[in-house]
Amino acid sequence: MEELSRCTDVTFKEPPHTAATWTRSDFTELSPGDQSTSVHPPDAELTDNRSIVDAHASLFAAHPSTRLHRDPGDTTLYVAPNGTVRGLVDYRVRLPSNRSAGNRSVEWGVADHGVTAVRLLSGDDVVARSDGSQTPVVDYTLVDSGSTTLTLEADIEVELREEVSVGEGSAERSGSVARTDTVTVTDSVDVSVYDLSAYSYEAMYPNGDTGLAIHQTAPWHGFTLGGDDSSRVRGIWRYYTARDTGWNALNASSAGGTTQRPSDALPVYVHAYPAHVGPRAEPIRDGPTLVDTWGTGHASPAPSMHENVTVGVVDGPYNRTDGLAVRHDDVDANDIVVTGIVRNVTARPSTFVGQETRTIRRSNLTIERIDTDGESATLRIELRDETTGAPIVLDNPILEERSATPIGVEPRDGYITVADQRVRTNTSGVVVVTVDEPGSYTASYEPESWRANDPAYVVDSDSVSWHPLWELSEWLRLLYHGVVALAPFLVALYAGYRISAFLQIDQHP
């Protein structure tokens, strides 16, 4: 286990809760400084005014959330529509210099100080408020989806008291609040509010199985088929957790300078990446069969990921799984739950108005030998609708790239495999193939996805065998070539026999 931990990171099949749990626990260890010391992460944006120095608001973490690694150098932080933001607000107080002249002296002190208000903004809109706290925990609800900027904003106020004394000993001394300073500090992070708006489509196979396709434009995790969660389908995304390295150390700034110490509080985030293991359906034996995936193409994000992250990222171009289609014998549309790449974000899929369950038909493929010349054979393959007898046309010279929309009417991109090649039928549902080697040939129809064609079909196959000696003409041809090949030897044998007879010596008296 020790060696394993050195060569790989722990990965998760679904967004884990450990990142939020770790962050929530560590946040209790985060302590601000006192009035003479400001504690802040090294990259915090510090603000000064007359009495408030080294002031900042630093966003510690936002959960539930997932940082998606999609392309090289392209990461997006997706946050749940309902979540929690934690932060650190700190500052130190700078007092004016004490002074004296004659028998009169002035001393400055702090009458009061603190964080008076904390707000969370999405763009320019305030979405949540909190009482003044230097370690605010703000629960939020975001109505609009899409890209936005989350901003943690805090108001800091300091009241200074001026005390004046005249004379010596027990001379009169007076004090009053002489100055109030305020400052507003902020910290922002660009996020995408994660929203699931999945659509489902169904089809019925000839044997009673159900075909189910689900499509979602935003990156998503997968779906479950039953209330017991026993059958599930996952897309290409897998997950790992990693700390925010910006909180590895904390600076403590005071009038005497700045010192640095390791941080006891480390926020942890969930990261999603395209895994080389690809989409999966579970359970393996009795679960659904994954029949189709489709989505937008991307380059591997591996080159820009941290060198210490070893999680099995795809090493080349990949298609993200915008859509997943399965075949299963037990599907209840009311039990389907779509899960997102952000923890706890789920949805029930919707269906388009007027979208009916499609019927997948049986196909009828036949193959026969129609000609032979001794060195090759010509095979005729025919593909038809078993129910109507109509030809199934596969000949599409230009096949456009699949649309992101899962249901439509597109040119059929199915094909027939025979003799290690792919062929397509013409407008009559026929294709002719020539083979050079004797043997048995099986033609198999690999149908196009039912989600893009109506009607749709299931697989079918047929076989035929060919050998030159199975034809009478080939036997005659073989006999002819054999006689031609043996003729010189027969002539030589006959000539030898005649010469021997001519030279024979009669030994009788």
Residue 139 has pLDDT above 70, yes or no: yes
Residue 42 lies in a domain: yes
Instruction: Give pLDDT, residue 75.
Output: 93
| Closest to 77 measured CA to CA, from 236, 219, 233, 217 | 219
In sequence order, what DSSP letters do the residues of 14-61 get, joined into one string?
A: S--SHHHHHHHHHHTT-----TT-EEE-TT---B--SSEEEEEEEEEE
Model confidence band, residue 335 (pLDDT cutoffs 50, 70, 90) = confident
Instruction: Give pLDDT, residue 350.
Output: 87
| Closest to 91 measured CA to CA, from 134, 121, 149 | 134
The label of the residue with tokens 């790449």 reads 341
Residues 325-351 have a mean pLDDT of 89
- Residues 379, 497, single domain; the answer is no
* 65 Cβ contact list (under 8 Å, min separation 6): 77, 78, 79, 80, 83, 191, 269, 270, 342
Instruction: Give pLDDT, residue 144.
Output: 87
Residue 406 has pLDDT above 60, yes or no: no
User: For 437-454, how does the pLDDT look when each residue is reduced to its tens digit (9 = 90+)?
Assistant: 888 899 999 998 888 788
Instruction: Give pLDDT, residue 173.
Output: 62
The domain in which residue 380 lies consists of 360-469
Model confidence band, residue 175 (pLDDT cutoffs 50, 70, 90) = low
Residue 250 lies in a domain: no
Rounded Cα gap, residues 84 and 80, in angstroms: 9
Say how many domains are in the chain: 4
The label of the residue with tokens 């509080």 reads 265
Residues 169-175 have a mean pLDDT of 58
- Residues 8, 58, single domain; the answer is yes
Q: What is the CATH number of the domain that holds 366?
A: 2.60.40
| Closest to 313 measured CA to CA, from 280, 270, 275 | 275
52-71 vs 268-274, strand pairing mode:
parallel
- Residues 182, 280, single domain; the answer is no
| 501 vs 197: which has the higher pLDDT | 197
Residue 291 lies in a domain: yes
User: For 104-114, how does the pLDDT look when each residue is reduced to its tens digit (9 = 90+)?
Assistant: 788 888 999 99
Instruction: Give pLDDT, residue 405.
Output: 47
- Residues 464, 494, single domain; the answer is no
Instruction: Give pLDDT, residue 307.
Output: 82
Residue 441 lies in a domain: yes
* 114 Cβ contact list (under 8 Å, min separation 6): 132, 156, 157
| Closest to 79 measured CA to CA, from 133, 13, 153, 19 | 19
Domain boundary among 341, 356, 371: 356
- Residues 181, 110, single domain; the answer is yes
Model confidence band, residue 286 (pLDDT cutoffs 50, 70, 90) = confident
Domain boundary among 356, 374, 405: 356
Model confidence band, residue 478 (pLDDT cutoffs 50, 70, 90) = low
Mean of all residue pLDDT scores within the chain? 86
Whether the full predicted model's pTM is greater than 0.85, yes or no, is no
* 380 Cβ contact list (under 8 Å, min separation 6): 367, 368, 369, 370, 430, 431, 432
Residue 48 has pLDDT above 70, yes or no: yes
Residues 165-172 have a mean pLDDT of 63
User: For 177-209, how does the pLDDT look when each residue is reduced to its tens digit (9 = 90+)?
Assistant: 678 999 999 999 999 999 998 998 889 999 999
Residue 401 lies in a domain: yes
- Residues 348, 477, single domain; the answer is no
Amino acid at 471: E
Lowest mean pLDDT among 42-51, 122-131, 220-229, 456-465: 220-229
- Residues 168, 43, single domain; the answer is yes
Lowest mean pLDDT among 91-105, 178-192, 420-434: 91-105
Tell me which DSSP letter residue 98 carries.
Answer: P
Model confidence band, residue 231 (pLDDT cutoffs 50, 70, 90) = confident
- Residues 217, 82, single domain; the answer is no
- Residues 21, 105, single domain; the answer is yes
| 492 vs 65: which has the higher pLDDT | 65
Residue 7 lies in a domain: yes
Decide: 80 and 64 in contact? Cβ < 8 Å.
Answer: yes
- Residues 348, 487, single domain; the answer is no
Instruction: Give pLDDT, residue 509.
Output: 47
Lowest mean pLDDT among 12-21, 87-96, 262-271, 472-481: 472-481
**How many other CB atoms sit within 10 Å of the CB of residue 163?**
15
- Residues 286, 424, single domain; the answer is no
Domain boundary among 159, 178, 193: 193
Decide: 142 and 81 in contact? Cβ < 8 Å.
Answer: yes
Residue 280 lies in a domain: yes
Residues 421-425 have a mean pLDDT of 92
Residue 248 lies in a domain: no
- Residues 292, 419, single domain; the answer is no
Instruction: Give pLDDT, residue 228.
Output: 56
Residue 137 has pLDDT above 80, yes or no: yes
Rounded Cα gap, residues 337 and 196, in angstroms: 11
Rounded Cα gap, residues 225 and 287, in angstroms: 10
The label of the residue with tokens 């050195």 reads 6
